[in-house]
Amino acid sequence: MEKSFYTYQTDIGKTYFGERDGAITDVFMTDDGKPPFTATYRETPLIKEAARQFNEYLAGKRKTFTLPLAPEGTPFQLKVWAALSAIPYGETRSYQDIALAVGNPKATRAVGMANHHNPISFIIPCHRVIGKNGQLVGYGGGLDLKKRLLDLERINS
């Protein structure tokens, strides 16, 4: 089935949600107004539900998402994204922690690249990954947004 996507204005800016075959495939922000994939612009019930849950998260009223997810990536990326999904709300892990969790302790840079290519931002919580020394590093939405999300979770934990 063809992928659908729809855009909503959220508290953090214009956010895009993508769906295919009854599962969320993408959540992202972009400045150019176009998704990085071919899709039909239409709001589906699942996309609408994803946006509702995301807005609840941003309001501090939701700690977990109950959505079917289908991220598209390599087997290694899928393992990394599964490890990210296991990071509890309000907690962080280092890139090294994730490399260990996926069984490849020398893959910290590869974990960073998988994190960078996470197609379901926020819901697969790549913002919860920090540098080994505890510093905020590497976030596609910018470090200010990463800090804002981590602060939101810390306050509401």
The three-class DSSP label of residue 59 is coil
C-alpha 55/C-alpha 57 separation (Å) is 5
Residue 1's pLDDT band, with cuts at 50, 70 and 90, is: confident
Instruction: Pull the structure tokens for residue 67.
Output: 């959505």
Answer yes or no: are the C-beta atoms of 114 and 81 closer than 8 Å. yes
Taking the whole predicted model, whether its pTM rises above 0.85 is answered as yes
Indicate which residue of 126, 129, 149, 150 is catalytic: 126
Residue 56's pLDDT band, with cuts at 50, 70 and 90, is: very high
Q: What digits encode the pLDDT tens for the residues 138-147? A: 777 788 999 9
In angstroms, the Cα distances linking 66 to 1, 5, 50, 69, 79 are 22, 19, 9, 9, 20
Residues 13, 26, 146, 152, CA torsion sign: positive
Query: Does residue 131 carry a catalytic annotation?
Result: no
C-alpha 134/C-alpha 117 separation (Å) is 22
> What is the per-residue pLDDT for 62?
96
Whether pLDDT at 103 is above 70? yes
Q: What digits encode the pLDDT tens for the residues 16-53? A: 999 999 999 999 987 656 666 678 889 999 999 999 99
Q: Are strands 13-20 and 4-10 parallel, antiparallel or unpaired?
A: antiparallel
